[in-house]
Structure formats: C-alpha cells, structure tokens
Amino acid sequence: MRTKVSFTAGGIRCAGYLHLPAGSGTAPCVVLCHGFSGTMDRLFDHAEHFAAEGFAALVFDYRGFGESDGEPRQLPDIGGQLADVRAAVAFARGHERVDPGRVLLWGNSLGGAHAITVAADDPGIAAVVAQIPFNGFPKKVEGRSTGETLRLLGAIVWDALRGRLGLSPYYIPMVGRPGELAVAATPEADQHIQTLTGGQTTLWRNSVAPRGLLRMMRYRPADAAARLACPLLVCVAAQDRETPLESTRVLAERAPRGELRAYPGTHFTFYTDPELRERVVADQIDFYRRVSATV
C-alpha cells in the first residue's frame, strides 16, 4: 500500500509517499534519500521491493525538487537536504505502523552521504545503506578536458554570485553530452536521461543550479562515517567515474561497523541494469534483516 504523505522541515513542506507492508503491526522502516538532482519517483521501485519484504519504506523529495515546496527550484542545498532527511526520520518514527526503534536509512549517490551524515548524529538509526555514495569529487573526471572543467567552474561561480545578489539561479543541465556544459557530460547522456525519466514525463528535470556544487566541495561524509554507531553497508560500482571506488570504499573503512560490496559496472549501471539492481537490492534487504533483527 502506498500513501501520499507530507511533513515540514524548517517550515518547508516536503512531499513523499509511504509504502507499507501487508499486515497491521509495526515494521522497520527504510527512509530513502535520492541523489544530487533526483526525485522520489525514481525510488518507487526500491520502496516497493522493501515493502514486499516486510519493511515500511518512505520516499520523499528534497525542498525545491519534485512535489516538495521551497524556492529557488532545482537548487541542491546540502544543509537544507540534511534537515529534510532528519524531518523524514522524525515523521517515520511517529507513524503508527513504524517501529521507532528500527528506522533504517538508505541513500543513493549524494543521498548516501546524507544518510551517513544524519545517522552519525542520531544514535537511534538502526543501520545505513549507502549506494554509490558521494565522498568528495575526483581530482580529474575522465573524459572532461581542462577547458570544460573551467567552463563548469565558471558556471558555478556565476550562479553563486547571482545567489548572493538575490537573483534567480543560472541553470545548467544535470546530464549532457561530452563537450556540453553540464554537471555530468557523458557519451551515454541520452541513455542516462531516459533512465532518469523512465522514458516519460516524470518529476525529474534536467536542470540544476550549479552553486550547489560549491558546498559539495567542502562536504566530508567520511568524517561522519568514523562516528557511526550503527552498521553501514556501502554498495559500489567497480568502474564508477562519478563516485570512484577508491574514494567510496573509504566510507566503509572508516566506519567502525562498515561493510563494502563491489559490483561490476559504472555509476549509471545501478540505474540501467535491472538484473544488477535486483541483485543489489536483495543484498541490501539481507543486510537490513540481519542488523534489524539484533536491534
């Protein structure tokens, strides 16, 4: 059963959907956090998998994205998104069908960093899964020239300046082809966009305010991982260029109860390969069952 819900974070309404398992008793709840420019509809499939296995699952849009309120739109604000995750956890704990002692966090890409960061300061979180998580930008992005990098940095600075002046954002595409000004410029751009939209009209928009990347340059989820009291499972892609294995594995290594599982493919294989997705979700469910049984 899926029910539309909402909660407030700092006075801003965040929209979401709560997926409930069969039955009438309380259940552990997975709170799912999407990535940099993602929207909750891309996580419905994951939530349905969790609900089918006896977990409640809460998906939601960060402020300024999808069905949630907040201005300006399409601006990834790390501080605001962390507040949204904390509010989502509080909502889950207060729901009559959720066991408040077994709230679990799940995050994809930037959402993986958020899940770790929030859990580090919340000893009540039972466990965390971080999938292809962000842990700092690579020193050089494969396939992006120095000139293209400078163009992106220029867009970030210009958008940040507009923000300081109270002007509307300078938007750029989230995904583009090589040589185009975009956050991620890849040869498989069209395929990635089809994956993010499901080939149809969805909440996701290929537009983002690049000033959000400035705060990410100073974001250190590895420091939070070292403070985690709960178990952490980090699921990584062996050929990931966006969140490289050499940086993401640090999260599992620094967490006192960290585990690492590597899978074949790239960052986007986690979205495009249904067989791999089924395998990864099955591993994550096994992990949640194992750790939540001890809570």
Query: Is residue 35 in a domain?
Result: yes
**Amino acid symbol at 204:** W
Nearest to 225 by CA among 112, 137, 76, 145: 112
Provide the pLDDT confidence category of residue 195 given band limits of 50, 70 and 90.
low
CATH number at 19 reads 3.40.50.1820
b/e map 29-59, b = 16+ CB within 10 Å: bbbbbbbbbbbbbbbbebbebbbebebbbbb
- What is the biggest distance separating any 2 CA atoms in the chain, rounded to whole angstroms? 58
Query: Is residue 166 in a domain?
Result: no
Provide the pLDDT confidence category of residue 159 given band limits of 50, 70 and 90.
very high
Query: Is residue 239 in a domain?
Result: yes
Query: Is residue 178 in a domain?
Result: no
Provide the pLDDT confidence category of residue 295 given band limits of 50, 70 and 90.
low
Q: What is the pLDDT of residue 143?
A: 63
Query: Is residue 199 in a domain?
Result: no
Query: Is residue 255 in a domain?
Result: yes
Instruction: Count CB-CB contacts under 10 A for residue 141.
Output: 17
Mean pLDDT for the stretch of residues 18-47: 94
Q: What is the pLDDT of residue 142?
A: 63
Residue range of the domain that includes 25: 2-138+219-292
Provide the pLDDT confidence category of residue 200 given band limits of 50, 70 and 90.
low
Mean pLDDT for the stretch of residues 107-135: 97
pLDDT at 28 over 90: yes
Mean pLDDT for the stretch of residues 89-116: 97
Mean pLDDT for the stretch of residues 123-131: 97
> Helices 44-52 and 274-292, interaxial angle, to 10°?
50
Query: Is residue 7 in a domain?
Result: yes
Q: How far from chain centre, in Å, is Cα 233?
A: 14
pLDDT at 201 over 70: no
Nearest to 206 by CA among 110, 74, 108: 74
| Structural domain count, the chain | 1
Token pair 């591993």 is at which residue? 283
Among 85-94, 116-125, 199-208, 259-268, the range scoring the smallest mean pLDDT is 199-208
Nearest to 250 by CA among 154, 141, 143, 112: 112
pLDDT at 232 over 70: yes
Q: How many residues comprise the chain?
A: 295
Q: Tell me the pLDDT tens digit for each residue of 237-248.
A: 998 888 889 999
Query: Is residue 23 in a domain?
Result: yes
